Amino acid sequence: KKAVVPYLRTFSVEEKTLLASMLQKIAPKATNDEKRMFLYTAQKKGLDPFVKQIYLIPRWDSKQNKNVHSVQVSIDGLRLMAQRSGKYAGQTPYQWCGDDGIWKDVWLADEQPKAARMGVIRHDFKEPLYSVALFKSYKQTKKDGSLTTFWEKYGAHMLAKCAEALSIRRAFPEETSGFYVPEEMGNPELVYVEETEQDDSAPLVASEI
């Protein structure tokens, strides 16, 4: 007997038309198969690409020597998947620390924090599940080694979202396993700036997705 995929969301013809146009603009070099996989994932997980809960993002694949597109979610998308599990009971406040290892509820120093942490609470857990993200592990840099604009201006906030994403995946592996937020994976905008190859993928029309 053929298995039934438990789709949580369906797209209307109008939405598919809008989505096809949107993908052609934000992911012009994505293949049609990559775009279909994006739609399939959005439907299966019940995430809305129009409010930026889920993205199709290019990443450089050194083995294939080209950019390939992968599905990523925003931190809001991860929170939504956790909430739908029925076991999500909130989270602890963000905390940061410097070289002294002392956790602080607000980061006021001019220099970047060394680490951030956050705990996810489940109804069936005895205590919050904490994850720690190190700045040196997640910071995003340009080719010259300097921090990207967002990490230079909002480093503490970006790092905190990495810690939150780690905690949510650990607390809800069935719902969120394999889904990463852009703050964890690098700046996708740099990929488009550096691409010079011609687009060999045809526009995907609504009837194809």
User: How do the pLDDT tens digits run along the chain, 209 residues long?
Assistant: 444 555 678 888 999 899 988 888 888 889 889 999 999 999 999 999 999 999 998 877 777 777 788 899 999 999 999 999 999 999 999 999 999 999 999 999 999 999 999 999 999 999 999 999 999 999 999 888 899 999 999 999 999 999 999 999 999 999 999 999 989 986 444 333 333 233 334 444 344 44
Q: Which residue has the tokens 């998947």?
A: 81
**Helices vs strands, H then E, count in the chain:** 9, 6
Whole-prediction pTM value? 0.81
Distances in Å between the alpha carbon of 109 and those of 51, 88, 134, 156, 191? Answer: 33, 32, 17, 10, 32
Q: Which helix (H) or strand (E) holds 68?
A: strand 66-73
